[in-house]
């Protein structure tokens, strides 16, 4: 069955436009509740399935939370409300509280006008495709409210943030601390605003917190992992040793060293992999994506670490990691998954793994990435109409073929439709940089012209 609402990262869109309307989200809650209620959970007689709902700091989160709550209750599912907490905190608490599912209301790194719904299973993983398909199918059914005595009940978890802070700290070695480090923490005015700084401070760091005063409208606004300039300036001004920037829902990470140099997901993943390889704790290899820099792959090969590429999206990275029995993977956007620490990507936990390597080697990020030479990479996002298929456009195929022939084995070209917004992403990577820029512009223009027809 073709997906109507679910993309690569749940259901997402502009608030007020389908599917992010109160009516549709209430129906989504009901459909998810019916699918969950029909599963065999081995519950005690009279016990109802339980679902945790967390959200980021967008003003629309309150509206969507109420809609979800109404739908789930109508289906006979109990609801546990955590308030604003990061996406990985929902994954953790769903497992810790032995609930049947977790739901996050967030559009991650997108502006406040957008929002979305994503689900976690009882094990803290993204829902399998077959369960998402079942929820899609159930959306065609009318809402039939359970009898009053069978309606789901709602309750609030008042210590959700504190529980998650302790979990994050538990992923850092007890014999190490962060004393002597001055760290700027950028929470993107998002879900980690009351959590991230506390984690690093309680491990001993001198913390300067920025972008930690959300007002419902400023999430990801010129701050966070997708806007490194704010963190870079703060690190220099505060004469800090490093900076940590998260995105709106806390599953993405970017780090900055004391000079203001930014380090992306590929570089941080390399630091973690290299450290674990030398420790003898790396299980298998590393999973990246089609967007992972070719220089990263070559650097891992030099230290004899196997590497594999998955489709873009952390769910696909996770699937390939699980299929191969590996524990480490991620994307250059800053989503990093350490399966020995958590079931999903976690910005705070990933930062702590980088800091573990830094403390163990007594070295900074520049030193730990000295053997990693990233290839120049240009990414152009071309806005298109929803459903536009670039693969059927002859001029686009011609431009792509010419670029691949010209770059040869010294580069790569990748075109893909975004799973979260109506754009085609054009990525060209290789040497020299001037050629990479030229081909990126040429292919993007071909896509743009084809989309305008």
Write the CB contacts of 209 (distance below 8 Å, at least 6 apart in sequence): 184, 185, 187, 196, 197
Query: How would you write the chain as a 3-class SS string?
Result: CCCCCEECCEEEEECCCCCCCHHHHHHHHHHHHHHHHHCCCCCCCCCCCEEEEEECCCCHHHHHHHHHHHHHHHCCCEEEEEEECCHHHHHHHHHHCCCCEEEEECCCCCCCCEEEEEEEECCCCECCHHHHHHHHHHCCCCCCCCCHHHCCCEEECCCHHHHHHHHHHHCCCCCCCCCCCEEEEECCCCCCCCCHHHHHHHCCCEEEEECCCCCCCCCCCCCCCCCHHHHHHHHHHHCCCEEEEECCCCCCEEEEECCCCEECHHHHHHHHHHHHHHHCCCCCCEEEECCCCHHHHHHHHHCCCCEEEECCCHHHHHHHHHHHCCCEEECCCCCEEECCCCCCCCHHHHHHHHHHHHHHHCCCHHHHCCCCCCCCEEEEEEECCCCCCHHHCHHHHHHHHHHHHHHHHHEEEEEEECCCCCEEEEEEEECCHHHHHHHHHHHHHHHHHHHHC
For residues 353 and 358, give the distance between their C-alpha atoms in angstroms, rounded to a whole number. 9
Asked if 294 and 414 touch (Cβ cutoff 8 Å), the reply is: no
For residues 310 and 119, give the distance between their C-alpha atoms in angstroms, rounded to a whole number. 21
Q: What phi, psi does 230 have (nearest 5°)?
A: -65, -45
Give the CA angle between residues 289, 252, 92 to the nearest 5°.
Answer: 105
- Tokens found for residue 407: 């770059």
- Tokens found for residue 263: 């380090």
The residues assigned a catalytic role are 108
Closest among 20, 309, 47, 60 to 152, alpha carbons compared: 47
For residues 429 and 417, give the distance between their C-alpha atoms in angstroms, rounded to a whole number. 18
């Amino acid at each position: 069955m073709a997906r109507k609402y679910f993309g690569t990262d749940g259901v997402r869109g502009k608030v007020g436009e389908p599917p992010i309307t109160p009516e549709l989200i209430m129906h989504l809650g009901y459909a998810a509740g019916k699918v969950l209620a029909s599963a065999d959970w081995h519950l005690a007689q009279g016990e109802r399935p339980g679902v945790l709902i967390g959200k980021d700091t967008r003003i629309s989160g309150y509206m969507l939370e109420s809609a979800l709550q109404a739908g789930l209750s109508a289906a006979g599912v109990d609801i546990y409300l955590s308030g604003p907490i990061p996406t990985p905190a929902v994954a953790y608490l769903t497992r810790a509280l032995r609930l049947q599912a977790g739901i996050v209301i967030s559009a991650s790194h997108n502006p406040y006008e957008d929002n979305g719904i994503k689900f976690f299973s009882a094990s803290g993983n993204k829902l399998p495709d077959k369960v998402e398909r079942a929820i899609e199918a159930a959306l065609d059914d009318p809402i039939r409210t359970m009898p009053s005595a069978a309606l789901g009940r709602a309750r609030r978890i008042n210590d959700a943030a504190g529980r998650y802070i302790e979990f994050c700290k538990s992923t850092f070695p007890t014999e190490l601390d962060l004393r002597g480090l001055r760290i700027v923490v950028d929470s993107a005015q998002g879900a980690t605003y009351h959590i991230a700084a506390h984690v690093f401070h309680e491990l001993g760091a001198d913390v300067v917190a920025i972008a930690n005063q959300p007002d419902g409208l400023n999430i990801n606004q010129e701050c966070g992992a997708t806007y490194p300039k704010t963190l870079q300036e703060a690190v220099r001004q505060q004469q800090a040793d490093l900076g940590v920037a998260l995105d709106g829902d806390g599953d993405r990470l970017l780090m900055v060293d004391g000079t203001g140099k930014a380090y992306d997901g590929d570089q941080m993943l390399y630091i973690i992999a290299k450290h674990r390889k030398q420790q003898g704790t790396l299980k298998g290899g590393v999973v990246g994506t089609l967007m992972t820099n070719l220089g990263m792959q070559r650097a891992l090969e030099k230290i004899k670490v196997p590497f594999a590429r998955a489709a873009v999206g952390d769910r696909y990275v996770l699937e390939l990691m699980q299929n191969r029995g590996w524990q480490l993977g991620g994307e250059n956007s800053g989503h990093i998954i350490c399966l020995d620490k958590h079931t999903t990507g976690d910005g705070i936990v990933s930062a702590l793994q980088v800091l573990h390597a830094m403390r163990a080697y007594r070295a900074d990020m520049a030193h730990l990435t000295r053997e990693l030479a990233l290839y120049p990479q240009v990414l152009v996002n071309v806005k298109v109409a929803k459903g536009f298929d670039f693969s059927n456009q002859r001029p686009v195929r011609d431009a792509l073929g010419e670029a691949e022939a010209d770059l040869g084995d010294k580069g790569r070209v990748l075109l893909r439709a975004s799973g979260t917004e109506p754009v085609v992403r054009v990525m060209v990577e290789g040497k020299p940089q001037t050629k990479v820029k030229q081909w990126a512009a040429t292919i993007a223009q071909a896509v743009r012209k084809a989309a305008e027809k």
